[in-house]
Amino acid sequence: TSYASVLTITSFTVERYLAICHPLLAHKIAALSRAVKIIISIWIISILVALPYTIHTRTYHAVTIPGTNSTVPNSLVCSIPFSDLGGFMYYMFQVSTFLFFVGPVTIIVILYILIGVALRRSPLARGSSDERNYVTMKSPPSVPQQPRRVVIRMLVAVTVAFVVCWAPFHAQRLMTLYVMNWTPDLLLVQSHIFYTSGVLYFVSSTMNPILYNLISKRYRAAFKQTICPCCHSRPTSGSISTARHSERFSKSPGMVVVKNGNDSLRVIF
């Protein structure tokens, strides 16, 4: 599931990039069937890559009493033995690190930089005289800067959380592969990284929804509506008409419809 989570986050980032920087292309290729195919592909790839770990993982006693063939009963662990870390599994550890951490982090950082540049270059950031022509679902036209700042903060927070949660896990893996002579200091560092990565490994699964709710009022409102729909105020007929009209141009929350003088449309996240 960790591999599927990484690929899903990367897919979301690509989707955000297309929605913000290439909205017409994103609207053209957006389809439920395409999303289903991407999800199925993500899980198939994740299962295939994780299969070797399932085959080589077993229970064994990690500590042997010196001078004897006896093992310490309380040292029973479920893991991949050091004797199996050579050959095929040695390369699998490296491939998984670069394919499911270094690669995704590089893609995410580059795309978020491009998103930030696109937002800063938009008329919203320059405070142009056409601000009255920017229409949002909830924000008044006089304050177009706030949605842009919220989007940038959210993108930065998600990227930082992803790196912080997964860096210790892969650092511990690479340390296990490349360190040949273990000193007491290295063992202590390995122990600290092991427990830290174990906690952050599971925190990463719940971090994004928490960040979204802390930063975005729109996500908080959607969360409240999902948990307690009866307490959410019913939309008026005017807002329903506006929402239906806007839905033809944008499906993603936070998108802004820009009307130019020649009646052409631009869509900005």
What is the predicted pLDDT for the residue at 147? 66
Amino acid in the structure at residue 93: F
Measuring CA to CA, how many Å separate 144 from each of 12, 36, 141, 229, 253? Answer: 24, 34, 6, 29, 15
Please report the DSSP string for 40-109 in residue order: HHHHHHHHHHHHHHHHH-EEEE--B-TTSS-B-GGGEEEE--GGGSSTHHHHHHHHHHIIIIIHHHHHHH
Which of 10, 14, 43, 46 shows the shortest CA–CA distance to 29? 14
Which of 82, 89, 97, 75 shows the shortest CA–CA distance to 180? 82
Radius of gyration of the chain (CA): 24
What is the predicted pLDDT for the residue at 68? 73
Residue that has been written with the tokens 């912080």 in this structure: 164
Domain count, the chain: 1
Which of 79, 242, 106 shows the shortest CA–CA distance to 162? 106
What is the predicted pLDDT for the residue at 179? 82
Q: Which domain CATH number covers 50?
A: 1.20.1070.10
Tell me the residue range of the domain where 25 lies. 2-268
What is the predicted pLDDT for the residue at 43? 93
Model-level pTM greater than 0.75? no
What is the predicted pLDDT for the residue at 232? 55
Phi, psi angle pair for 268, to nearest 5°: -125, 135
Rounded-to-integer distance, Cα 14 and Cα 33, Å = 17
Tens digits of residue pLDDT in 162-198: 888 889 988 888 888 888 888 888 889 888 998 898 8
The helix-helix angle for 88-97 and 32-56 (nearest 10°) equals 140
pLDDT in tens, the chain (269 residues): 778 888 888 888 888 888 888 888 878 887 888 889 999 999 999 899 888 877 777 777 777 777 677 777 777 777 776 666 667 777 888 888 888 889 988 998 899 888 888 877 776 555 544 444 444 444 444 344 566 667 767 777 877 888 888 899 888 888 888 888 888 888 898 889 988 988 887 888 788 778 878 877 877 888 788 887 776 555 444 444 444 444 444 444 444 444 444 444 444 44
